[in-house]
Amino acid sequence: MDKEIGITVKKNENFSEWYTQVCIKSELIDIRYNVQGFIVHRPWATKIIKNIFKIFERELEKTGHQPVIFPTVIPEENFEKEKEHVRGFKPEVFWITEAGEEKLDRRLALRPTSETAFYQMYSLWITSWRDLPLKLYQSVSVYRYEKVTRPFIRGREFLWIEAHNVFETHEEALKQVREDMENSRKVIWEQLGIPFLFFKRPKWDKFAGAVDTYAADTLLPDGRVLQISSTHDLGQNFSKAFEIVFIDREGRRKYAWQTCYGPGIWRIVAAIISIHGDDRGLVLPLNIAPIQIVIIPIIYKDSDKDKVMDKCNKILETLLEKNYRVHIDTRDKTPGWKFNDWELRGVPIRIEIGMKEVEKNIVTIFRRDLRKRMLIEDDKLIETIEFLEKDILNVLKNRAEKFLKENIITARNREEIIEGLNKGKIIRISFCGKEECAMDLKEKTNGGKIRGILLGKPEENFDEKCAWCGENAVNTVYVAKSY
């Protein structure tokens, strides 16, 4: 492969440079757009993103969510209504102040998140318990004035889904939080193969305006965790600010209970690139790959061309009939160049067809995940592809889960915490529960953060004392450096 085309650094040696090269060289994006933090999604990324949206939307609709499209702009007055929310988000808001030759009479925010757009309308739509539950979502861009930006990880414009739900009781809202976590598990883990830990965030690290925040962290190869999804118990904070009131089954006037859920589509793409990718580039599971199977004709003599192309076309037809996304690469390049190019882009399955395959009635199949070739008989094609569709995802899942598990350690004192953080570990500690201690830890470890209490399995405090400050421990938490 041409040096300038292929990835020139190893993922384990220089993750940051490897990541940038994969983003650019697999033609996912272009970062040369002339506004910082706003990137161009090229066709390869756009198709992957659309496939991920589709998987999430299907799962959300199964649990009773309906799609909406809300305005991109939010008037400043809406923002002001929930005090914590405005305090948290205002420093990050882009403001529209002019239109044509005119100065607007009030500022309009580019939505950084849409609570204050949705809930304005919810107060109009909800009057009775019969209107509940209300479960709506949208798949959109949001905008935040971030200082430091990085493709798919932190942008001034980024893509996500936001679901905004309303219930009669707090119990139902908490049940929704669990449903959201299950949605993340079903999509991000089961279908995209990205493992994560779901934490209840400490109270000083909540979503602005929430009662409690629950968030999924995955671990990137450089030892920093990345939040890829979060769901928030909003309690009645916003329903009181926006007057979302309903008449309950007993005829009483009540404030509604709310949740919001945000799978970070952009960050999930970042996790897929970083965790599944290897030194040759992207590695994609079939369910999101823009091209699932690429067919490469291998023609050494002009006289072989018709026979080889004929077989390629037959295979194409067979696979198209089964609804696979297939492509024959007929570009005027060598087979080796094409192999490298499609490996860089992460196409999960490659089929190579030359005279050997024509004469022996076989197909050469290369799987991107293991970089292994196999020869199969023509009539085993479909069953092999069906097997690979599952097996490739399983290989990616197992590899990713192994990496995450291997990098979770337990620490009992400051030295072990510092050593673990330096090695890029997620660290389990007994903790005093105090914000001052968390801030001290963060400062002295140059960024180590309390990610929260692990959800899913109850954990007892394994030490009586906080591993950082030595005071009485109240719970077990996880510490990590993060994006």
Residue 166 CA to residue 278 CA, distance in Å, equals: 43
Q: For residue 327, state whether it binds a copy of itself (rule: CB under 8 A).
A: no
Pattern 341-370, binding to a copy of itself, x per CB under 8 A? Answer: ------------------------------
Q: Which of 17, 131, 157, 401 binds a copy of itself (CB under 8 A)?
A: 157
Task: For a copy of itself, give the closer residue by CB, 28 or 467.
Answer: 28
Please identify, using beta-carbon distances, which residue of 326 and 466 lies nearer to a copy of itself. Answer: 326
Tell me how far, at minimum, the Cβ of 158 lies from a copy of itself, in Å. 11
Q: Give the torsion through C-alpha atoms of 278, 281, 287, 289, to 10 deg.
A: -170
Give the residue among 459, 416, 454, 414 at the shortest CA–CA distance from 437: 414
Q: How many residues bind a copy of itself (CB under 8 A)?
A: 55
In the complex, minimum distance from the CB of residue 334 to a copy of itself, in angstroms, rounded to a whole number: 16
CB of 160 to a copy of itself, least distance (A): 13
Question: Looking at 52, 117, 132, 312, which residue binds a copy of itself (CB under 8 A)?
Answer: 117
HSE at residue 401, side-chain half, CA atoms within 13 A, is 11
Q: Which of 11, 18, 23, 78 binds a copy of itself (CB under 8 A)?
A: 78
User: Which H/E stretch holds residue 58?
Assistant: helix 43-62
Residue 99 binding a copy of itself, by CB under 8 A: yes
- Compute the distance between CA of residue 306 and CA of residue 295 in angstroms, rounded to an integer: 15
Of 443, 391, 439, 446, nearest in space to 424 by CA: 446
**Least distance between a copy of itself and beta carbon 285 (Å):** 20
The interface mask with a copy of itself, positions 30-59, x = CB under 8 A, is x-xxxx--xxxxxx-xxx-xx---------
Q: Which helix (H) or strand (E) holds 397?
A: helix 381-406
Q: Where are the beta strands (DSSP E) in 335-445?
A: 349-353, 362-367, 372-377, 408-410, 426-431
CB under 8 A: which stretch of 113-121, 206-214, 274-282, 470-478 binds a copy of itself? 113-121
Q: Give yes or no for residue 337 binding a copy of itself (CB under 8 A).
A: no
Question: Can you tell me whether residue 14 is helix, strand or coil?
Answer: coil
The Cα–Cα gap between 386 and 125 comes to 46
Distance CA 375, CA 373 (A): 7
d(CA 195, CA 353): 36
- Residue 423: phi and psi, rounded to 5, are -90, 5
Among 77, 310, 383, 440, contact with a copy of itself (rule: CB under 8 A): 77
- Report the residue number, 346 or 448, with the smaller CB distance to a copy of itself: 346
Residues 108 and 71 sit within 8 Å (Cβ to Cβ) = no
> Smaller CB distance to a copy of itself: residue 125 or 387?
125
Binding segment toward a copy of itself, per CB under 8 A, in 91-99, 185-193, 334-342, 382-390:
91-99
Residues numbered 13 to 32 that lie near a copy of itself (CB under 8 A) are 30, 32
CB of 355 to a copy of itself, least distance (A): 29
Decide if residue 73 touches a copy of itself (CB under 8 A).
yes
Quote the least distance from Cβ 122 to a copy of itself, whole Å: 11
103 vs 301 by CB, closer to a copy of itself: 103
> For residues 294 and 327, is the Cβ–Cβ distance under 8 A?
yes
Interface pick for a copy of itself out of 52, 159, 161, 271 (rule CB under 8 A): 159
Residue 74 phi/psi, 5-degree rounding, is -130, 125
Pairing mode of beta strands 134-143, 66-67: parallel
**Start-to-end C-alpha separation, the chain:** 33
Stretch that binds a copy of itself, among 138-146, 292-300, 428-436, 454-462 (CB under 8 A): 138-146
Binding a copy of itself (rule: CB under 8 A), the pick from 136, 268, 393, 467 is 136
* 68 sits near a copy of itself (criterion: CB under 8 A): yes
- C-alpha distances in angstroms, 240 versus 89, 95, 209, 317? 19, 26, 12, 59
**Closest approach of a copy of itself to the CB of residue 473, in Å:** 38
Q: How far is CA 425 from CA 128, 228, 253, in A?
A: 49, 18, 50
Q: Which residues in this chain contact a copy of itself in the complex, by CB under 8 A? A: 30, 32-35, 38-43, 45-47, 49-50, 66-73, 75, 77-78, 90-102, 107-108, 110, 117, 120-121, 124-125, 136, 138, 141, 143, 145, 157, 159
